[in-house]
Amino acid sequence: MSKTRVIWIGLALLLVAAMVLPFLVKNYRVFQFNLVLVYAIAILGLNILTGFNGQISLGHGAFYAIGAYAAAILMDRAGLPYWATLPFSGVLCFVLGFLMGFPALRLAGHYLAVATLALALAIPQLLKYKLLEHYTGGVQGIVLVKPEPPFTFRFLDQPLSADRWLYFFTLAVTIVMFVLAWNLLRGRVGRALVAIRDHPIAAAVMGINLAMFKSLTFGVSAAFTGVAGALGAVVIAFVSPDSFTVTLSIFLLVGLVVGGLASIPGAFFGAIFIQFVPNIADELSKSAPAAIYGVLLIVLMYLMPLGVMGMVRKLWARWQPGAARLQASVKPGTSVPVPPDLTKESTT
């Protein structure tokens, strides 16, 4: 069986499993799975920027927050239905991300990390700011109403509850976003992004407009994360400044590294990790999740710099020797995004 065929069958089975899953577990678990999907979109957004384009952002929680607040304000003040808020959040974050991308053009590596970290730290304060309080609800935040399912039925003895309905909505959005990202990254644009990451000068020589591509990447990445934020606001039905601290940005980075840099499906592993590991670790101590994340970040950098997906690829190559050759010889016209070579010595 060819590799593509295996992947398609696997995806179909996964989809069926994902459709049945919410009816097998309790409502609270469904809510948690909703968040997994939301985080997966957010991590995918960060991956487009950091994994594929090599621009380090420690502040994607800020775009998540802006997306969430935009959705919440539109629902709360303008009375828009929940599904209509997503495009607004996406477009708003695209514009803001694009603007943030302009200074980012002049900042490489660490400097961009500092600037985005500052953004992540400043956002909760800005959301609490008294001149904006009329819209943002200040420290209190905004409480939303969870949308009711438009129709209802019972399956496996479980009703289609609000959370289950939202699960299907979130799943649909997730599929759309992942297909969009896949289409964006598998062609010319994806190759340009990877070229910019690996050798900006060579990329510029080949006629890639660095400034435009980097700013646009920032915008697209922010838009993905903004849509995730809007979905998150709908799923949780509440936004407040203190849910969007710098911790969120750092957790997204952890999810990215765990799942795998420059890997689209890796975002799911990262999302599952940041959603469920804290729940388990919390029983040990309130501080345990952060400690585990910290140790894991460092250990992963030493042992598994390409995360879970890097491991999966390696095992696949070992299990089926032909696959390794397929990966190595990229046919013209198809693009296999090459993972960043984290073990290579930097030239600077």
Partner 1 sequence: MNVEGVIHQIFSGLANGCIYGSIALALVMIYQATHHLNFAQGEMATFSTFIAWALIQKGMPYWMAFALTFGLSFLAGLAIQRLILRPVERAPVLTNVCVFIGLLLIFNAFSGWFFDHTVKAFPSPFAQEGILKTPFFSAHEFGSFLVMLAVLSALYAFFRFTPIGLAMRAAAQNPDSARLVGIRVSWMLAFGWGLAAAIGAVAGMMVAPIVFLDPNMMAGILLYGFAAALLGGVDNPWGAVIGGLIVGVLENLLGAYVIGTELKLTVALVLIVGTLTLMPSGLFGKHVVTRV
At 246, is the secondary structure helix, strand, or coil? Answer: helix
Verify binding: residue 294, partner 1, rule CB under 8 A.
yes
Residue type, 222: A
Verify binding: residue 250, partner 1, rule CB under 8 A.
yes
| Residue environment code for 146-184, b if the CB has 16+ CB neighbours within 10 A, otherwise e | bbebeeeeeeeebebbbbbbbbebbbebbeebbeebeeb
Q: Are 149 and 164 in contact (CB under 8 A)?
A: yes
Verify binding: residue 119, partner 1, rule CB under 8 A.
yes
At 21, is the secondary structure helix, strand, or coil? Answer: helix
CB of 242 to partner 1, least distance (A): 12
Instruction: Give the distance, in angstroms, between the CA of residue 235 and the centroid of all CA atoms in the same chain.
Output: 16
β-strands 154-155, 142-143 pairing: unpaired
Verify binding: residue 140, partner 1, rule CB under 8 A.
no
Site string for partner 1, 58-87 (x = CB under 8 A): x-----------------------------
In 10 A of CB 18, how many CB atoms?
16
Stretch 187-246 residues interacting with partner 1 (CB under 8 A): 201, 246
How many residues form the binding site for partner 1 (CB under 8 A)?
Answer: 54
Residue type, 317: A
Verify binding: residue 339, partner 1, rule CB under 8 A.
no
Verify binding: residue 273, partner 1, rule CB under 8 A.
no
CB of 218 to partner 1, least distance (A): 13
Q: Report the residue from 148, 157, 283, 345 that binds partner 1 according to the rule CB under 8 A.
A: 345
The residue ranges that bind partner 1 (CB under 8 A) are 50, 54, 56, 58, 103, 106-111, 113-115, 117-119, 121-122, 125-126, 128-130, 201, 246, 250, 253, 257, 261, 285-291, 293-298, 300-302, 305, 340, 342-346, 348
